[in-house]
């Protein structure tokens, strides 16, 4: 049985890939910025694998995501910014600091004597206070400061709303948000009828979407996950239409919308 590779082997592999003389031409020319799209893609592939419960491939996808961190660490080492051990140390130190209910003395070895000493509410309040202090240390004084600009728009909207909610800027219940959504839809309809400015229509459409994200956030649901599920549902039903028409030797582009709608309803009845 061959030996199992270790994290050290992976680091060595990465250094070999980046070797200016004997490495891989593609890996050699990469930079922090150039591999960001790959990092985002790999993170979404992990999420997709979990949501589809395709656990047989989860290990592979997690490996692909880990490789991104190894890649950044190698770039950091080459530029004298940080090394892998710094990444691990910084992460461990931060997590120990953020979990005083588990590491009461602020060290990895310290332990609590009574796990019931902190309620979930107390733990959450402590977590938020610690993160607030961390933001101040980074020079971020505003409630909405340091929310990453490059987050997917739905995720960033939810994060902005969540931050505002922490200081009391929130709805009392879901019914209020539903009423707000209806109000925004009415304003959108009004602008579409007026058709004076496409920008105003887009602004109102944005308000509708933002309000829907607010409802998802209030219901403790991830808007990105919700839309991904809707995408999969749409794909499944549309492919059912394609398969049905192909079996009937019909061209989908020449099929009346009424027939496609009928097949769509069949797909729904099939549980797609």
Among the listed ranges 100-109, 114-123, 171-180, 203-212, which one has the minimum average pLDDT value? Answer: 114-123
**Tokens, residue 231:** 């995408």
Mean pLDDT highest for which of 94-98, 131-135, 193-197, 204-208? 204-208
Of the pLDDT bands very low, low, confident and very high (cuts 50, 70, 90), residue 151 is confident
Say if residues 146 and 159 touch (Cβ distance below 8 Å).
no
b/e 227-241 (16+ beta carbons within 10 angstroms → b): ebeeeeeeeebbebb
Report the interhelical angle of 223-247 vs 153-166 (nearest 10°).
150
Over residues 129-145, the pLDDT tens digits come to 777 777 777 776 688 88
Q: Specify burial of residue 74 (Cβ count, 10 A radius: 0-12, 13-18, 19+).
A: buried
Place of tokens 């499944």: 236
Compute the distance between CA of residue 260 and CA of residue 242 in angstroms, rounded to an integer: 9
pLDDT digits (tens, 9 = 90+) for 52-99: 899 999 999 999 999 999 999 999 999 999 999 999 999 999 999 989
| Longest CA–CA separation in the chain, Å | 73
pTM listed for this prediction? 0.71
Q: What is the pLDDT of residue 131?
A: 75
């Amino acid at each position: 049985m061959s030996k199992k590779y270790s994290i050290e082997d992976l680091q060595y592999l990465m250094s070999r890939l980046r070797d200016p003389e004997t490495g891989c031409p593609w890996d050699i020319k990469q930079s922090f910025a150039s591999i960001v799209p790959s990092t985002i893609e790999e993170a979404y592939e992990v999420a997709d694998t979990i949501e589809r419960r395709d656990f047989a491939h989860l290990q592979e996808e997690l490996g692909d995501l880990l490789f991104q961190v190894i890649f950044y660490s190698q770039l950091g080492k080459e530029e004298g910014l940080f090394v892998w051990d710094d990444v691990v140390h910084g992460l461990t130190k931060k997590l120990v600091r953020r979990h005083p209910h588990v590491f009461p003395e602020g060290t990895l070895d310290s332990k609590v004597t009574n796990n019931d000493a902190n309620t979930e509410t107390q733990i959450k309040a402590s977590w938020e206070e610690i993160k607030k202090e961390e933001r101040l240390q980074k020079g971020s004084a505003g409630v909405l400061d340091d929310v990453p600009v490059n987050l997917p728009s739905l995720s960033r909207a939810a994060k902005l709303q969540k931050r505002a909610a922490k200081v009391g800027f929130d709805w009392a219940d879901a019914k209020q948000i539903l009423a707000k959504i209806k109000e925004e839809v009415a304003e959108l309809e009004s602008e579409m009828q007026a058709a004076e400015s496409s920008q105003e229509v887009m602004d109102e459409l944005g308000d509708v979407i933002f309000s829907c994200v607010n409802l998802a956030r209030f219901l403790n649901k991830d808007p990105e996950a919700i839309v991904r599920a809707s995408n999969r549902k749409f794909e499944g039903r549309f492919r059912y239409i394609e398969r049905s028409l192909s079996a009937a030797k019909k061209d989908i582009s020449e099929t009346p919308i009424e027939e496609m709608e009928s097949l769509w309803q069949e797909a729904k009845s099939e549980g797609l």
